[in-house]
Amino acid sequence: MKLTVDQLRITLDHRPILHAVSLEARTGDVVGLIGPNGSGKSTLLRAVYRSLRPADGVVAVGGDDVWALSARAAARRTAAVLQDATGSTSGLTVTEIVSLGRAPHHGLLGRDGAEDHRAVRDAIDRCGVRPYADRDYASLSGGERQRVLLARALAQRPRLLVLDELTNHLDIRARFELLELIRTTGVTTLAVLHDLDLAARLCDRIVVLHEGTVVAAGPVLEVLTPEILADVFGVHASAERHADGVVRLTYAAQPLATGKDGRLFEGESGLDGGAAGGIGVDGERASHSLDAGTM
Ligand SMILES: Nc1ncnc2c1ncn2[C@@H]1O[C@H](COP(=O)(O)OP(=O)(O)OP(=O)(O)O)[C@@H](O)[C@H]1O
């Protein structure tokens, strides 16, 4: 299902956090949400999965405003995997946790039917958690837990998947496996990612959030430009599609220099003060030289 966020404004504790944010994820697309710490990514996700009501603006999934749907109806469409969001899991096994994903589909009696069992079995197998399906969830490692939480989300058979730093605890192989899995689900996905290389690999499109405003959105190579990477993330970097079809980023060894007030000095990125993103860029040059290195 298509996700549309239109002119979303969110204020928390009298502080405007999101300023008229608009974005779109077409049906089946994997859209990456990137931006520096505190730029508003998690807040935006909370609004998308209907845990935070916006002051203004609309979040629509499949064309319906999520706040016009019941919480249950919205949960049948959208599943979220959040950072360290385990909820109340004490004493539950992995299979029981994954089964919780079926709750929005249950009738009044709340009993699991054949379809529920199939969805749980499928999700457990797809996410590779079968070897510890009978273990106490609390006894799992961080990476194992993250797989289980993805399995719970997939058991929900959502039409929109919302992921907040899903790959945090995962080793490099597990990251690739999980990202590949997400791509093969065909479910529309909005994923917050800090690792820009992973974002470039996983995503059809990328949205860059900076200080609560969308400063760039579009296909990976159109968005991960040296100017955006310097202006928003404060690094010298460039993205390039390699012969194997994978987009990789090359970073300079050091970040851009910052002044005493935390503002970025202009390095070699050729930015001017009016560049997209709005970080103030002083006219001075960084005093150090930047060696190009590959990560
Ligand atoms: N309940 C709240 N009251 C006031 N400010 C809040 C509240 N929750 C979050 N914020 C602030 O909103 C801003 C955006 O936070 P958010 O968690 O959405 O950022 P983020 O981009 O997800 O950051 P990170 O990459 O560090 O996880 C931050 O400055 C944060 O301190």
Domains of the chain, by residue range, sit at 3-220, 225-295
Bridge partners for 189 per DSSP: 30, 161
Bridge partners for 93 per DSSP: 136
- Which residue's CA is the nearest one to ligand 1's atom 16? 40
**Closest ligand 1 atom to the C-alpha of 212?**
14
Q: How far is the CA of 110 from the centre of ligand 1 (A)?
A: 36
User: Tokens at residue 125, please?
Assistant: 């197998």
What average pLDDT is seen over the chain? Answer: 83
Instruction: State the amino acid at position 4 in one-letter form.
Output: T
Mean pLDDT of 98-126: 85
- Which residue's CA is the nearest one to ligand 1's atom 10? 12
Q: How far is the CA of 46 from the centre of ligand 1 (A)?
A: 11
CA distance linking residue 7 with residue 193, whole number of Å? 22
Nearest of 88, 96, 85 to residue 136 by alpha carbon: 96
Long-range pairs for 63-66 at CB < 8 Å and ≥24 separation? Answer: 63/2, 63/4
CA distance linking residue 196 with residue 228, whole number of Å? 12
CB atoms within 10 A of CB 31: 21
Mean pLDDT of 4-13: 96
ipTM of the complex, rounded to two decimals: 0.97
pLDDT tens for 244-268 read: 888 899 988 666 666 555 555 444 4
Tell me the backbone φ, ψ of residue 115, rounded to 5 degrees. -65, -40
Answer for the pair 295, 252: CB distance below 8 angstroms, yes or no.
no
- pLDDT band, very low/low/confident/very high, at 61 (cuts 50, 70, 90): very high
- Which residue's CA is the nearest one to ligand 1's atom 30? 38
What integer pLDDT is reported at residue 89 of this predicted model?
Answer: 67
Bridge partners for 16 per DSSP: 11
CA distance linking residue 108 with residue 105, whole number of Å? 10
pLDDT tens for 179-230 read: 888 888 899 999 999 989 889 988 999 999 999 999 999 999 999 999 999 9
- Which residue's CA is the nearest one to ligand 1's atom 8? 12
Instruction: State the amino acid at position 235 in one-letter form.
Output: V
Tell me the backbone φ, ψ of residue 174, rounded to 5 degrees. -60, -35
Calculate Rg over the CA atoms of the chain: 20
- CATH architecture assignment, domain 3-220: 3-Layer(aba) Sandwich (3.40)
CA distance linking residue 200 with residue 106, whole number of Å? 37
CA distance linking residue 146 with residue 157, whole number of Å? 17
Q: How far is the CA of 9 from the centre of ligand 1 (A)?
A: 14
User: Tokens at residue 273, please?
Assistant: 């003060």
Residue 80 has pLDDT above 60, yes or no: yes
What integer pLDDT is reported at residue 3 of this predicted model?
Answer: 97
- Which residue's CA is the nearest one to ligand 1's atom 26? 37
Q: How far is the CA of 270 from the centre of ligand 1 (A)?
A: 30
CA distance linking residue 3 with residue 29, whole number of Å? 10
Q: How far is the CA of 53 from the centre of ligand 1 (A)?
A: 15
- pLDDT band, very low/low/confident/very high, at 88 (cuts 50, 70, 90): low
Q: How far is the CA of 38 from the centre of ligand 1 (A)?
A: 5
The alpha carbon of residue 196 and the mean position of all alpha carbons in its chain are separated, in whole angstroms, by 11
Answer for the pair 105, 127: CB distance below 8 angstroms, yes or no.
no
Pocket test for ligand 1, best of 39, 167, 192, 195 (most atoms within 8 A of CB): 39
**Closest ligand 1 atom to the C-alpha of 43?**
18
Tell me the backbone φ, ψ of residue 83, rounded to 5 degrees. -65, 125
CA distance linking residue 114 with residue 112, whole number of Å? 7
What integer pLDDT is reported at residue 255 of this predicted model?
Answer: 64
